[in-house]
C-alpha cells in the first residue's frame, strides 16, 4: 500500500511540474523595429522574416520601421527572426532597445538606394515620400 501511495505521489508531482512549463503560443503577436527606407527594403525584410520557420505573417512599415509578426513560438523565436533580417543587411532594435547591426558585408549587399545608414540617401527618400503624398492628395 505504501508503494502505491508513493508511486501516485511521484506521478502527481511530475504532472504538476510539467503543467508549470511556460506554454508557447502558436499565434504570438510580436513587433520590433527594423531599419530601412523604401519599398525594396520592405520586401527584403518581410521575405527574410517569412522564410523563418514558424513565421505566419510579417508586415513592415516604411513610415514607422515597425515589423509586425505572427509567429509560432513552438517553432521559432524572436532572436532567430532578427538574425535572418540581419543577414539580409538590415539593423534591428533588439531586446532592451539594444541596436543589433548587420555586418558590413550584409549591409553592402543591399541595393544602393536602400543604404539607410547614409543620411543623404535617407533625405532623398524623405523628399520622394513627401512628393508622393502631395500627388495622392491631388487625386
Nearest to 114 by CA among 62, 38, 43, 61: 38
Here the CATH number for the domain that contains residue 134 is 3.30.70.100
Asked if the structure places residue 85 within a domain, the reply is yes
Unique residue bearing C-alpha cell 527584403: 44
> pTM value?
0.75
- pLDDT at position 9, please? 64
- pLDDT at position 18, please? 54
- pLDDT at position 97, please? 83
Asked if the structure places residue 8 within a domain, the reply is no
Asked if the structure places residue 118 within a domain, the reply is yes
Angle in degrees, 0-180, between the axes of helices 78-87 and 39-50, rounded to the nearest 10 = 130
Nearest to 74 by CA among 53, 95, 57, 49: 53
The number of domains in the chain is 1
Asked if the structure places residue 19 within a domain, the reply is no
Express each pLDDT in 20-35 by its tens digit: 456 788 889 999 999 9
Asked if the structure places residue 9 within a domain, the reply is no
Express each pLDDT in 73-114 by its tens digit: 999 999 999 999 999 999 999 878 899 999 999 999 999 999
Asked if the structure places residue 49 within a domain, the reply is yes
Express each pLDDT in 2-61 by its tens digit: 777 756 566 666 565 555 456 788 889 999 999 999 999 999 999 999 999 999 999 999
Unique residue bearing C-alpha cell 539580409: 88
Amino acid at each position: 500500500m505504501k508503494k502505491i501511495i508513493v508511486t501516485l505521489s511521484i506521478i502527481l508531482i511530475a504532472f504538476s511540474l510539467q503543467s508549470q512549463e511556460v506554454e508557447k503560443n502558436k499565434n504570438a503577436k510580436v513587433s520590433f523595429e527594423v531599419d530601412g527606407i523604401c519599398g525594396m527594403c520592405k520586401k527584403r525584410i518581410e521575405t527574410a522574416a517569412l522564410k523563418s520557420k514558424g513565421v505566419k505573417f510579417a508586415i513592415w512599415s516604411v513610415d514607422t520601421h515597425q515589423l509586425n509578426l505572427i509567429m509560432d513560438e513552438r517553432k521559432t523565436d524572436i532572436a532567430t527572426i532578427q538574425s535572418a533580417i540581419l543577414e539580409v543587411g538590415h539593423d534591428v532594435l533588439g531586446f532592451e532597445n539594444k541596436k543589433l547591426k548587420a555586418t558590413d558585408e550584409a549591409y553592402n549587399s543591399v541595393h544602393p538606394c536602400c543604404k539607410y545608414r547614409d543620411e543623404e540617401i535617407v533625405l532623398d527618400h524623405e523628399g520622394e515620400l513627401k512628393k508622393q503624398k502631395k500627388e495622392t492628395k491631388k487625386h
